[in-house]
Structure 1
């Protein structure tokens, strides 16, 4: 059994005058949401034996806040291929994960993460998938399980969605149209 948790970076600041999208930082709401999601992951007692993330500034800052809420360092491996990666590229990266890892946290960007969940989890499998179909907001977490021994066995339609949490599920002020 393999478990994959996907985390989309928290809300970034579009008002910050950076030269490159890669360098865009989080805004205040994003920092609050990421810390709250980190506390939620801790409260659920989730642990990860392998963490890989996009090195974009907004992802790095998201993980700083996640770790603050989670209460410990995650031992993150940075991989530039995750920056704005498509679902297909993400699946290639997942299939190449070390088989010694059983519970992986992958942190990146949309639309790739949302598309990946919809690719891996069969349609018509319940409310969680339906919620992902509607929207995969910033700082949201999706957790899937796969009945495989090796990551190379993760294929389209082979996952079961066990968890989908949006920041607004934890604190209504972190939902749309709020500062």
Structure 2
């Protein structure tokens, strides 16, 4: 059994004088990321590996989740990754419960690609900031994953 926790970064700041890569979270995003970390803990969702885009907003989201002791990697292709980049990153994972933190629109397309049945949630298709999908796969390895079973889907507004 393998589990993927697929999270879009929390709400970022849109200051005009910063490159996109360097944008931090805004106050709402900071609160959302903290709430998502609590939600992960409350639901016994403990990743044993993290793959995170190297952008400032994804790194800050990860920091505020407060995940202890999981090996963490920041592959450059996860910055503004398309669905193929996300698939490739996951195929290289070695953990049984992997958290990926990345960006739209790639993460929304990837989420739709990997679920047998989409969750009954009006925000799944647009995958807003902080959206988090939990999917289980009946696998021994990430190499040949296809469609999994949705266990949960949440957006930060439901938590704050």
Shorter-chain TM band: over 0.9
Partner residue in 2 for 1:59: 58
Change (3 A) 1:75 1:94: closer
Count of paired positions: 160
**Mapping for residues 17-166 of structure 1, pairs under 5 Å:** 17-18=17-18, 20-67=19-66, 72=68, 74-98=70-94, 101-123=95-117, 125-128=118-121, 131-133=123-125, 135-155=126-146, 158-166=147-155
Please identify the structure whose Cα radius of gyration is greater: 1
> Residues of 1 paired with 2:119 and 2:65: CA distance?
28
Q: Following the alignment from structure 2 to structure 1, what is the Cα–Cα distance between the partners of residues 145 and 13?
A: 34
Distance (Å, rounded) in 2 between the aligned partners of 1:131 and 1:11: 15
Q: Which runs of 4+ in 1 moved over 4 A?
A: none
TM-score normalized with structure 1 length: 0.83
The offset of 1:96, in angstroms, is 2.2
Post-superposition offset of 1:111:
0.9
Distance of 2:105 and 2:85 partners within structure 1: 12
Paired residues of 2:119 and 2:153 also in contact (CA < 8 A): no
Matches of 2:84 and 2:124, distance apart in 1 = 18
- Please list the CA deviations of residues 110-150 of structure 1 after superposition, one character each: whole Å capped at 9, or x if unmatched: 11111111011135x5515x6412x2111111011111111
Q: 1:126 to 1:77 in 2, by over 3 A?
A: closer
- Could you report, residue by residue, the CA deviation over 1:28-52 in whole angstroms, capped at 9, with x for unpaired residues? 1100110011111111121111111
Q: Secondary structure at 1:151's aligned position in 2?
A: coil
